[in-house]
Amino acid sequence: MTDQYAEPPFPDQPQEMPGTTAAMTPRPDHGEDSYKGSGRLQDKKAVITGGDSGIGRAVAIAYAREGADVMISYLCEHEDARDTARLVEEAGRKAVLFPGDISSAEHCRALVSKAVEEFGRIDILVNNAAHQDTFKSIDEISDEEWEHTFATNIHAMFYITKAAVPHMKPGSAIINTTSIQADSPSEELLAYATTKGAIQNFTGGLAQLLAEKGIRANSVAPGPIWTPLIPATMPSEKVQQFGKQVPMQRPGQPKEVAPAFVLLASDEASYISGANIAVTGGKPII
The residues annotated with a catalytic role in the active site are 192
**Radius of gyration for the alpha carbons in the chain, expressed in angstroms and rounded:** 17
pLDDT on residue 269: 98
Report the percentage of the chain scoring pLDDT > 70. 99
Give the model's pLDDT for residue 191: 98
Q: Which residues contact 139 (CB under 8 A, 6 or more apart)?
A: none
Average pLDDT over residues 207-234: 97
Q: Are 190 and 135 in contact (CB under 8 A)?
A: yes
DSSP state of 28: P
In the chain, the domains with their CATH numbers are 45-279 (3.40.50.720)
In angstroms, the first-to-last Cα distance of the chain is 27
Average pLDDT over residues 16-39: 95
Pairing of strands 124-127, 95-99: unpaired
- Provide CB contacts within 8 A for 205, sequence distance 6+: none
Give the model's pLDDT for residue 95: 98
Max alpha carbon distance in the chain (Å)?
51
- Could you report the per-residue pLDDT of 85-128, keeping only the tens digit for each? 999 999 999 999 999 999 999 999 999 999 999 999 999 999 99
Q: What is the pTM of this model?
A: 0.97
Average pLDDT in the 256-269 region?
Answer: 98
pLDDT, one tens digit per residue, over 36-94 is 999 999 999 999 999 999 999 999 999 999 999 999 999 999 999 999 999 999 999 99
For residue 2, pLDDT beyond 60: no
